[in-house]
Amino acid sequence: MENTVIPVYLLSGFLGSGKTTLLKRWLEAAERSGRKAAVVMNELGEVNLDGVQLGPDVRMAEMLGGCICCTVRGDLGMEMLKLIDEHHPDLVLVESTGAANPLDIIDAIGDASMLKRMELRQVVTVVDAAHLQDQLSRGKGQTFRLMKEQIRCADALLLNKIDLVTEAEADALERVIREWTPLVRIERTIAADTDIGRLERSNGTGGPAADATSAHKHEDGEAGCTPDCAEHGHDHEQKHAHHHGHEHVMAYTCYVDRPVDSEAFEAMMGRLPDEIYRAKGILTFTDTSARFMFQYAYKQLDLMRIAPQGDVPDVAVFIGEHFERTELEREMLALMNKPI
């Protein structure tokens, strides 16, 4: 036991791509094989809505209200060490916010692995096929660059939500991904349905992942994903720029203290501006008096009836780029029938 190295898997991918969906499958697979998994979750909002979906028995460290790769980056190693000391897991799964740059997280895991016997085995990037297609048609912007970076850092890549594109479109997407990162293993999935055992058995693209620090380093010691990863920058200024590359992403958390009308809610979601590309939350509806978790990613709204364990407030979290927060506040007040 003393000499066991705990494998760590990093789940990367843009907001709403399907990371939590994959995480749930991973936890189920670990449980089936009798292994104890621990999870580090990071959300931009102030409530761990992803965690609510996992149930009360999952050993979990939550890092809320900031992005793992900058504001809370320093805490990541600490949280991992604490989790390992407390729970002695057989594996650790780290789900970053979709706004995170994997390089910084890879670095932080590397630092932590100097203090505890753990190693980063895989960076698994989940890609929303339809969203990538949309971003490719724009071909620029911070979201595009961040998606590209997340893809280039992947050892394994799930081209997810394949139900939302045609086969020819998926072929075209794979060709682009291969241009960016030729060695990555790509799998097309719906609802991140993949063989977890195979994901775990394979090592990183660059051969055996000996340890977290060496598996994802450039030859010159710069943290990176592939040796030709020119975008990551090699001088301080560039590094600084890339580190803060997602500051354009903002989150607005709104606690909802009363049941709301489901039709008014759906109508409001239908009016959300393009700048808000992700939302999630828990609401109680007046017309059904049940509680629902809602998920919104790129104009697609899903509602699921839930009965969360413990004391979870009704809340709505909106994530996007430079959106009008006051406008959204007004919408939410109207939804709650409160004076504006």
Ligand X SMILES: Nc1nc2c(ncn2[C@@H]2O[C@H](COP(=O)(O)OP(=O)(O)OP(=O)(O)O)[C@@H](O)[C@H]2O)c(=O)[nH]1
Name the site residues for ligand X (rule: CB under 6 A).
Answer: 13, 15-21, 50, 98, 160-161, 163-164, 190-192, 278, 295, 297, 302
Closest to ligand X by CB, 70 or 190:
190
Q: How far is the CB of 49 from ligand X (least distance, A)?
A: 8
> Residue 127: which residues within 8 A CB-CB, separation 6 or more?
13, 14, 17, 147, 150, 151, 157, 158, 159, 160, 173, 177
Q: How far is the CB of 20 from ligand X (least distance, A)?
A: 3
- Selection from 135, 188, 178, 129 nearest residue 158 by Cα: 188
Closest to ligand X by CB, 160 or 262:
160
The rounded distance, in Å, linking the Cα atoms of 108 and 110 is: 5
Q: How far is the CB of 300 from ligand X (least distance, A)?
A: 6
Q: How far is the CB of 67 from ligand X (least distance, A)?
A: 11
Alpha-carbon dihedral 93, 98, 104, 105, rounded to 10 degrees: -10
Closest to ligand X by CB, 18 or 281:
18
Contact assessment for residue 4 and residue 117, using Cβ atoms and an 8 Å cutoff: yes
Q: How far is the CB of 294 from ligand X (least distance, A)?
A: 8
Please report how the helices 102-112 and 73-87 are oriented relative to each other, as an axis angle in degrees rounded to 10.
50
Closest to ligand X by CB, 43 or 155:
43
Contact assessment for residue 120 and residue 114, using Cβ atoms and an 8 Å cutoff: no
Closest to ligand X by CB, 157 or 215:
157
The rounded distance, in Å, linking the Cα atoms of 231 and 228 is: 9
Q: How far is the CB of 14 from ligand X (least distance, A)?
A: 7
Please give the sequence-ordered ranges of beta strands (E in DSSP) within 1-131, or none if there are none: 6-12, 37-43, 59-64, 91-95, 118-128
Cβ-count burial 115-128 (b if 16+ within 10 Å, e if not): ebebbbbbbbbbbb
Q: How far is the CB of 276 from ligand X (least distance, A)?
A: 12
Closest to ligand X by CB, 55 or 208:
55
Contact assessment for residue 10 and residue 124, using Cβ atoms and an 8 Å cutoff: yes
Q: What is the DSSP letter of 5?
A: P
Closest to ligand X by CB, 60 or 215:
60
